[in-house]
Structure 1
Amino acid sequence: MNVSDLRGILAYIPQFREKVFVIAIDGAIAASENFPNLVLDLAVLRSVAIKVVLVHGIAHQLKQLSLLLHTDLSDTTGIGITDQKTHELSLIASSKVTFQILEALSASDLRACATNAIIAHPFGIVSGVDYQLTGRINKIDVPFIEYLLQKNIIPVIGPIGFDGEGKSYRINSDAVAQCMAEALHAEKLIYLTTYPGILDNEGNLIRELDVQAAQEFHKNFSKSQPEQLRSKLEHAIHACKNGVNRVHIIDGRMDEALLSEIFSNTGIGTMIYANQYESIRPARKKDIGAILKLIQEPIESDEILPRKAVDIARDLQSYYVFELDKQIVGCMAVYPYPKTSQAELACLSVAKSHENQGIGRKMIHYAEKLASQQGFKQLFLLSTRAYVYFMQKGGFKEADPSILPLERKIKYEKTGRNSKVLYKPLQ
């Protein structure tokens, strides 16, 4: 990790300090070579006052025990029927993974505690089928978990629930993590699995989905995709609809995957979000430095006119920024020409790291809406190199410079840049 990485992390600390992160670790991740590195990442989270709750799965360990003992399992996920033998192996597997996690946390000088905080009832008989020792979560002992967090103790929770009579039941770990995150009003729920995230039907990683898009995608989830991902997407949707701001699904086998996902505004996996993750807002004086940084390269490549800090400060009321996770990744200006009922879109720039994510189009649409609300009938812009983008993505058409407001036409001719003039009628 270099100095710039550290600076990036520092930018997020005030936002996440004292917040609760529920981190769900698949059994296969606990058994992976990267698990010791993952624990070091957890130590980093604790060092910046993030409260961590760990939930683990056991499907991988159950399958290993089944092979070792030549025993058939009635179910490995905690969703289907759990017969007596499978339940006994589930208890062994859960104890093994819990102990492994406690050992690893101790090696990093982190205090932790195995808990019985999941109060469960039998799943029961559904459509005539008795699910035997499969359980359903009745409630989470929130005061117990909060007490541990207040004492800087990491709760470690396996996929086993307990009823008031001391009986135990096998529960799906994705569901445990979801319910835990909801009960604790967690800032984040993070699923660490053996997949890079949610994939589209062509196998490409989907970086982010809002709840509505995630629901639509889940309805049409390809049967060829792993059931493990379907489960995580389903529980992510439920968590977001019940108060969890963001759910991340990432490959826990990657070194520094957890830190890369949390402490960057691009991440490495899939994020499902419920809150307003992105926003366009009026620029403030403190944003001028970020705007100058965004437009430096476009200025050097002669895509936009040179601007200095004093120029931006003078016209600051016309500038807007696109903020992503409290980081400015886009900017633009909308200049009014009231005498002609025209407005100009200018200085549109998007950070290289966030190109091809639709940010430019969102800013164009925002400019159109803004200008329309202010009573303007036409939006125009001048472009030397990006005019094809504005025509194809923004619906602009080329026009003669004669359509420009007089004062803008004088400036246009004075620069000698011979920019293409584009316009778009507004509703």
Structure 2
Amino acid sequence: MDTRFPFVDWFRNSSPYINAHRGRTFVILIEGEAVAEGRGEQLIQDLALLHTLGVRLVVVQGIRPQVNQALETANVTPARHHGRWVADEAVMARVERVAAEQRLWLESRLSLGLPNSPLHGVEMTVVSGNLVMAKPLGVREGVDFARSGEVRRVRDTAISGLLEQGSLVLLPPLGYSSTGEVFDLDAAEVAQKVATALTADKLILLGEASGLVDGRGELQRQLTPDEARDWLEDTAPGEELHRHLKSASAAARHGVSRTHLLSWRDHDALLGELFTRDGVGTMISRHQYEQLRAAQVGDVAGLLELLEPLEQRGMLVPRSRERLEYEIDDYVVIERDGMVIGCAALHVFQAAGMGELACVAVHVDYRGGARGDLLLTEVEKRARHQGLGSLFALTTHTAHWFFEHGFRTAELADLPPLKRDTYNHARQSKVLVKSIR
């Protein structure tokens, strides 16, 4: 149905995510290039929106371009090794100054109540401090990294306490030692270690790239950490994508439910990733975002919603809730982030050695991705496991799809007696059969 206000439909569709994100902990890395390129103000508004929706936020600030500018201005050229600069005293003086300037800038923006924005009047308490403990990288391959360091531990109890009080926790890429030293840290590592220590619900890395894109230019929307390993090998240490991918994969392996690679250049990236089903970037998760599995009684509501449009168009025979519940063991479903987007059923006629491939359906928004093929393959596997020699299907609209997948035209007499006796002559469905031996 058309609407004068398209955002209303978007808002309705986002409501499950608004509810799901409330009270959750997100760790968000914003690389310094975002601020340097003028994207800071928009991102601050997005952070404030998430805060008002009840999301517990830890924000890690990247400062690389700002430090590089300060070093160039001072005619200081740092030595580099494996993508990290050697933070000697001259370098570290600029790192500390820039980190303080960037922290103060962000704190001041969040203290303004966001004037001239849709979130005018929102008050946020921002807290920073010695919440990340560090240790020196030391000497590696003959290179003394001076005050370049790595995370030793995260004061997760203190951070959790601040989040419980409703504060936004802001962390620069700095760490502190038990002897009072300050170390330069990799911002992506800080974000990963904090997310892992907090067992955060999400780690979001906002960088230059809008996720992982394959050789055909297609965005990879979801990967497991193991699948991401091949991509990591194609990037160079020190490159932003390498650092982000390494941190995202490590966090996913160590308890962070979902990690996301997004581009700060996309003004809609942060909210688009969090409040739409498909998102806009690449997600890395130990658990499959989309999975094929056996149906359960709890899927009946989703099945009814999926099948209703097809039943109204006469493509499928209407099925009641009671019938679906009774036959639920016959179904397989494709679930995507809690939504049933595909299904198929195998009704067994053991005496005839045949099975009926029934109720093959894929949500209109997810067609064209071989999900129908996946459902058919699973049904065929189930049929062979039960010793069946062939499948049959009755269709009024999609005979061509069945022909493309090995079915042939058959006669009513070829059906099992029980199915033949209940055939609906008013529908005039085509009878198709496929051998699966």
Same fold flag (TM > 0.5)? yes
- Asked if residue 54 in structure 1 is aligned to residue 59 in structure 2, the reply is yes
With over 3 angstroms needed to count, the CA separation of the structure-2 counterparts of 1:154 and 1:334, relative to structure 1, is same
- Asked if residue 87 in structure 1 is aligned to residue 98 in structure 2, the reply is no
Note the C-alpha offset of 1:236. Answer: 1.2
Note the C-alpha offset of 1:232. Answer: 1.1
User: Relative to structure 2, which stretch is displaced further, 403-412 or 123-132?
Assistant: 403-412
Query: Does the Cα contact within 8 Å between 1:387 and 1:420 map onto a contact in 2?
Result: no
- Asked if residue 250 in structure 1 is aligned to residue 262 in structure 2, the reply is yes
Secondary structure, counterpart of 2:278 in structure 1: coil
Q: Which residue of 2 aligns with 1:423?
A: 434
Q: Which residue of 2 aligns with 1:404?
A: 415
Q: Which among 141, 148, 152 is matched to residue 162 of structure 2?
A: 148
Query: Does the Cα contact within 8 Å between 1:192 and 1:250 map onto a contact in 2?
Result: yes
Q: Which residue of 1 aligns with 2:217?
A: 203
Q: Which residue of 1 aligns with 2:354?
A: 342
Note the C-alpha offset of 1:241. Answer: 1.0
Amino acid at match of 1:91: E
Query: Does the Cα contact within 8 Å between 2:380 and 2:436 map onto a contact in 1?
Result: no
Distance in 1 (CA, whole Å) between partners of 2:141 and 2:348 is 65
Secondary structure, counterpart of 1:45 in structure 2: helix
1:23-64 Cα distance to aligned partner (Å, 9 max, x none): 111111233433322222222322332211111111121233
Query: Does the Cα contact within 8 Å between 1:75 and 1:86 map onto a contact in 2?
Result: no
With over 3 angstroms needed to count, the CA separation of the structure-2 counterparts of 1:359 and 1:98, relative to structure 1, is farther
Q: Which residue of 2 aligns with 1:282?
A: 295
With over 3 angstroms needed to count, the CA separation of the structure-2 counterparts of 1:383 and 1:163, relative to structure 1, is same
Q: Which residue of 1 aligns with 2:23?
A: 18
Distance in 2 (CA, whole Å) between partners of 1:96 and 1:391 is 66
Note the C-alpha offset of 1:424. Answer: 4.7
Note the C-alpha offset of 1:275. Answer: 2.0
With over 3 angstroms needed to count, the CA separation of the structure-2 counterparts of 1:122 and 1:4, relative to structure 1, is same
Query: Does the Cα contact within 8 Å between 1:74 and 1:86 map onto a contact in 2?
Result: no
Q: Which residue of 2 aligns with 1:361?
A: 373
Distance in 1 (CA, whole Å) between partners of 2:183 and 2:83 is 9
Amino acid at match of 2:54: A
Distance in 2 (CA, whole Å) between partners of 1:84 and 1:132 is 8
Which residues in structure 2 correspond to 1:7-406 (within 5 Å)? 7-75=12-80, 79-106=84-111, 107=113, 108-219=122-233, 221=234, 227-279=239-291, 280-284=293-297, 287-288=300-301, 290-299=302-311, 304-309=315-320, 312-313=323-324, 316-317=327-328, 318-383=330-395, 386-387=398-399, 389=401, 396-398=406-408, 400-401=410-411, 403-406=414-417
Note the C-alpha offset of 1:409. Answer: 4.2
Q: Which residue of 1 aligns with 2:117?
A: none
Distance in 1 (CA, whole Å) between partners of 2:152 and 2:425 is 73
What runs of 5+ residues in structure 1 fail to find an aligned partner? none
Note the C-alpha offset of 1:72. Answer: 2.4
Note the C-alpha offset of 1:406. Answer: 3.1
Distance in 1 (CA, whole Å) between partners of 2:224 and 2:339 is 19
Query: Does the Cα contact within 8 Å between 1:33 and 1:253 map onto a contact in 2?
Result: no
User: Relative to structure 2, which stretch is displaced further, 13-22 or 185-194?
Assistant: 13-22
Distance in 1 (CA, whole Å) between partners of 2:351 and 2:138 is 73
With over 3 angstroms needed to count, the CA separation of the structure-2 counterparts of 1:382 and 1:358, relative to structure 1, is same
Q: Which residue of 1 aligns with 2:8?
A: 3
Report the count of equivalent residues: 420
User: Relative to structure 2, which stretch is displaced further, 152-161 or 272-281?
Assistant: 272-281
Amino acid at match of 2:38: E
With over 3 angstroms needed to count, the CA separation of the structure-2 counterparts of 1:408 and 1:156, relative to structure 1, is same
Query: Does the Cα contact within 8 Å between 2:384 and 2:436 map onto a contact in 1?
Result: no
Amino acid at match of 1:419: K
Note the C-alpha offset of 1:297. Answer: 4.8
Q: Which residue of 1 aligns with 2:425?
A: 414
With over 3 angstroms needed to count, the CA separation of the structure-2 counterparts of 1:175 and 1:287, relative to structure 1, is same
Identical aligned pairs, as a percentage? 26
1:310-363 Cα distance to aligned partner (Å, 9 max, x none): 685475424443221112222222222222232222222222322334433333
1:114-173 Cα distance to aligned partner (Å, 9 max, x none): 122111111011121211221011111111111111111111011111101111111111
Secondary structure, counterpart of 1:244 in structure 2: coil
Query: Does the Cα contact within 8 Å between 1:37 and 1:255 map onto a contact in 2?
Result: yes
Secondary structure, counterpart of 2:220 in structure 1: coil
User: Relative to structure 2, which stretch is displaced further, 130-139 or 340-349?
Assistant: 340-349
User: Relative to structure 2, which stretch is displaced further, 81-90 or 165-174?
Assistant: 81-90
1:55-104 Cα distance to aligned partner (Å, 9 max, x none): 11111212332344443243599734223222222112222222222123
Query: Does the Cα contact within 8 Å between 1:114 and 1:156 map onto a contact in 2?
Result: yes
Note the C-alpha offset of 1:419. Answer: 2.9
Query: Does the Cα contact within 8 Å between 1:201 and 1:222 map onto a contact in 2?
Result: no
Note the C-alpha offset of 1:206. Answer: 1.3
What runs of 5+ residues in structure 2 fail to find an aligned partner? 1-5, 114-121
TM-score under structure 2 normalisation?
A: 0.86
Distance in 2 (CA, whole Å) between partners of 1:249 and 1:206 is 10
Note the C-alpha offset of 1:418. Answer: 5.4
Query: Does the Cα contact within 8 Å between 1:74 and 1:83 map onto a contact in 2?
Result: no
Distance in 2 (CA, whole Å) between partners of 1:57 and 1:277 is 29
Secondary structure, counterpart of 2:213 in structure 1: coil
Once superposed, what is the RMSD of the aligned Cα atoms? 2.9
Secondary structure, counterpart of 2:219 in structure 1: coil
Distance in 1 (CA, whole Å) between partners of 2:426 and 2:102 is 69
Distance in 2 (CA, whole Å) between partners of 1:245 and 1:56 is 22
With over 3 angstroms needed to count, the CA separation of the structure-2 counterparts of 1:127 and 1:67, relative to structure 1, is closer
With over 3 angstroms needed to count, the CA separation of the structure-2 counterparts of 1:283 and 1:291, relative to structure 1, is same
